Amino acid sequence: MQTIAERLDSARKGIDQAANSAHRPPNSVKLLAVSKTKPVSDIIEAYEAGQRMFGENYVQEGVEKVQELSNLDNIEWHMIGPIQSNKTKVVAEHFDWVQSVDREKIARRLNEQRPESLPPLNVCIQVNVDDEDSKSGVSLSELASLVEFVSSQERLCLRGLMAIPKANPDDEQQRQTLSKLKELFDHYHTSLSNFDTLSVGMSSDMVEAIHHGSTMVRVGTAIFGKRDYPNR
């Protein structure tokens, strides 16, 4: 059975190979290790293998991990799951990034509740690119106004877009979705400073996402193994 360090190495090699085949520089795609439901010991093992960026989906679980591992240097915590308005304060106080901002109310509260002692909170806007009822994310028609709003918030730094494309698409559908995301990203990347992140791609669609300009892929099971989901 492979160790977490070995799986991390495989994931990084897969990213580098995909970037190389897309004629992109080897360090142009970052790896976010999705550690939801996994114990702190697994995160420490990944950290000791050189991983610094970790993604959490559940606010309470994530905050507890951030607090427990606050002694680790240069660790970077990303909230990638949906946020209810009553949870924005602890997210603003503990996380370095929030990738799941999808409405003004959440952005406003994160901005107001980000402590002055911390740098501005890095934010990605989650886009519901395939217009799925089951998914969070701002609709394409409302994206421009949310970009404008987040950009105006002093304690937020708008870094880019995040998306979770439709599961198991056919090849043409996948290409259309990823091409649309790249088009949106390029539009804002050229007009906004700090807008440098396109967070899309997981284990199953990582290669295609990288070929379509992803700058950050979110990988969980391929690093930490299968998850046990407790009742929440």
Q: Is residue 175 in a domain?
A: yes
Domain count, the chain: 1
Are 114 and 155 in contact by the 8 Å Cβ rule? The answer is yes
CATH number at residue 111: 3.20.20.10
Show the domain range for 78: 4-224
Tokens of 104: 């003004």
- The model's pTM is 0.96
Q: Is residue 229 in a domain?
A: no
Q: Is residue 112 in a domain?
A: yes
Are 156 and 107 in contact by the 8 Å Cβ rule? The answer is yes
Q: Is residue 51 in a domain?
A: yes
Rounded to whole angstroms, how far apart are CA atoms 168 and 179?
17
In order along its 232 residues, the chain shows pLDDT tens digits of 899 999 999 999 999 999 999 999 979 999 999 999 999 999 999 999 999 999 999 999 999 999 999 999 999 999 999 999 999 999 999 999 999 999 999 999 999 999 999 999 999 999 999 888 888 999 999 999 999 999 999 999 999 999 999 887 898 999 999 999 999 999 999 999 999 999 999 988 999 999 999 999 999 999 999 877 665 5
Q: Is residue 231 in a domain?
A: no
CA separation, residue 171 to residues 16, 174, 224 (Å): 22, 5, 28
Burial pattern 43-79, b for ≥16 Cβ within 10 A else e, equals: bebbbebebebbbbbbbebbbebbeeeeeeeebebbb
Q: Is residue 232 in a domain?
A: no
Tokens of 163: 């998306």
Q: Is residue 37 in a domain?
A: yes
Q: Which helix (H) or strand (E) holds 3?
A: none
- Looking at residue 165, the DSSP 8-state letter turns out to be P
Size (the chain), residues: 232
Q: Is residue 230 in a domain?
A: no
Please return the burial class of 201, using the count of CB atoms within 10 Å of its CB with bins 0-12, 13-18 and 19+: buried
Are 217 and 198 in contact by the 8 Å Cβ rule? The answer is no
Handedness of CA 20, 26, 28, 31 (dihedral sign): positive
